[in-house]
Amino acid sequence: MYWQRGSSTVFVTGTVTCLHCGYVCGQWAGRAGAPLIAAGLRNTRPPDPTAPICCGRCQGPVFLDGATAVRSTARLQRIARLRRQIAEMDARGPGRAA
Ligand SMILES: [Zn+2]
């Protein structure tokens, strides 16, 4: 993996896309070289976070499209904070009723 430099951990973000039908599953963030598991998906609350991601339309295999390295941990912390906020919004109740 050319993302990895020395022993430091490099994080990447990209778009999880279906290899078969091109369906976009969502934005993914995680460690470079790590398997694409559901826990890394943003805006998603999977029943099993450790399950490998497969296409939501055809169940086909997915790949990380346009993966970019996240070198700044500040950006990663912002992503984590956003995910937490989204989870809190989801926890408030079903639907988008005001
Ligand atoms: Zn598909």
Helix (H) or strand (E) holding 11: strand 11-18
When the pLDDT of each residue in the chain is averaged and rounded to a whole number, the result is 84
pLDDT beyond 60 at 10 = yes
CA of 31 to the centre of ligand 1 (A): 24
CA of 16 to the centre of ligand 1 (A): 11
Alpha helix stretches (DSSP H) within 9-72: none
CA of 79 to the centre of ligand 1 (A): 26
CA of 7 to the centre of ligand 1 (A): 35
CA of 71 to the centre of ligand 1 (A): 30
- Which residues contact residue 53 at a Cβ distance below 8 angstroms, ignoring those fewer than 6 apart? 16, 25, 28, 36, 37, 38, 40, 41, 62
pLDDT tens across 50-64, in order?
999 999 999 999 999
pLDDT beyond 60 at 7 = no
Q: Two tokens at 87?
A: 């989870």
- Classify the C-alpha dihedral 80-45-25-64 as positive or negative: positive
Q: In the prediction, which pLDDT does 97 show? A: 56
